[in-house]
Amino acid sequence: MKKSAKPVVVILVVIAVLAAAFLLVWQFDVFGLFKDYKTVPEITLKGKTDIVLEGGTPFEEPGYTAKIGDLDATDKVEVDYKTVDTTKVGTYELNYTLSNLKGRHTVTQTRTIKVVDTTAPVITLKGDATVKIQIGSEYKDAGATAADKVDGDLTKTIKVDNRVNVNEKGKYTVTYTVKDAAGNEAKVTRNVIVSKQTAGSVVYLTFDDGPSFNTIKILDLLKKYDCHATFFIVGQNIPGNEDILKRMVKEGHTLAVHTYTHDYAAIYTSPEAFWADNKKTRDLIKKVTGVEAKCMRFPGGASNTISANYCSGIMSTLTSQCKDHGYEYYDWNISSGDANADGLPAAQLYDNIMAGIHENYESPIVLMHDTGAKGTTVTAVAKVLQVGLSEGYSFEAIDETVDPIHHAVNN
């Protein structure tokens, strides 16, 4: 027994030594033999691991790096981008997975992507944003379409608030609202102007610089022919002529603001000076008649260059400020010529006006003056009304339903 036991012991010892050696080599991998088995991969995510993403915008990978031991293994990382659907609100987990070379260790890093919807849908009007129709005619709304980055086509859920009264002259608003699933609301409006105007058939006579005794004569003519006009008032002419203003309102004419002093050197020194002068007239008209003027005309027109003597660029500023002051400003496209001199022959003024009217502007706006020195203007107006009516024109007062004429600004 003792003799035969010896080789067995030797074998056992050898096995034990080999096992110990193997374990030692395995444990410390002194020769690097098991590197591929033993090295745990490392993934490093760049950027945030919690990402909030607006729905409908593509996910952009902030980047990552990976190593297995000293080896760069970035290109071996598997990322399943299909798990993230940025067109749907929700929270998604994006996994970055990497196994070492022999598949013994697999590591996963996770980014959380929260897709939210804070963007309102977009409403697109079909047809024009401003529609003009004639009184009494039918209004057919052209509708709108709506699209949301997350919810897609929302056209069918648009709510339309249509307040258009085709039987009453005015400026109406059609409002389109739509909400997406996340509750974001979009709103778009369309202006619908119901007017008496048909292209070229309505003439807008306008009188600047009054009132004066000639204004009364013009009002008499307008009354005689049942016509209406617009008066751009000079405020300093109001005291003593209050009854003329009241009559204008009573007889359906439009009172509009021209200026208080008409002194270019004073009003065009600064926007502040201009609006202070303008307000003085507007306030006085309101005080006398109770009417707040919504239309105005710049002394010299918006195209005047005289203002450049006092303030460079002031007309650009003033024209852009009108809306803020609650005004539309009206220049003209037909000039009677009565500003060129006092006492010009009425026939000449009449010819200028009728030639302009016959040019068929969409909004023929005629510039005239009703100061005391413009007696021949009154005579011309009488003939314009008489002949114009017989030719089928009508004469109306400007209001906010009338397209403005804007001259090119030169200062």
Q: Where does this chain bind Zn ion (CB under 5 A)?
A: 208-209, 299
State which residue, 209 or 396, has the beta carbon closest to Zn ion. Answer: 209
CB of 370 to Zn ion, least distance (A): 10
State which residue, 148 or 209, has the beta carbon closest to Zn ion. Answer: 209
CB of 297 to Zn ion, least distance (A): 7
Q: Which residues contact 341 (CB under 8 A, 6 or more apart)?
A: none
CB of 400 to Zn ion, least distance (A): 22
State which residue, 42 or 328, has the beta carbon closest to Zn ion. Answer: 328
State which residue, 209 or 370, has the beta carbon closest to Zn ion. Answer: 209
Pairwise CA distance, residues 162 & 159, whole Å: 10
Q: Which residues contact 152 (CB under 8 A, 6 or more apart)?
A: none
CB of 195 to Zn ion, least distance (A): 27
CB of 336 to Zn ion, least distance (A): 13
Pairwise CA distance, residues 295 & 255, whole Å: 8
State which residue, 59 or 264, has the beta carbon closest to Zn ion. Answer: 264
CB of 208 to Zn ion, least distance (A): 4
Question: Using CB atoms, what's the residue nearest to Zn ion?
Answer: 208
54 touches 117 (CB < 8 A): yes
Identify the burial level of 181 via C-beta atoms within 10 angstroms of its C-beta, where 0-12 means exposed, 13-18 middle and 19 or more buried.
middle
CB of 377 to Zn ion, least distance (A): 13
State which residue, 164 or 295, has the beta carbon closest to Zn ion. Answer: 295
Pairwise CA distance, residues 265 & 277, whole Å: 12
State which residue, 133 or 266, has the beta carbon closest to Zn ion. Answer: 266
Strands 106-116 and 64-68: unpaired
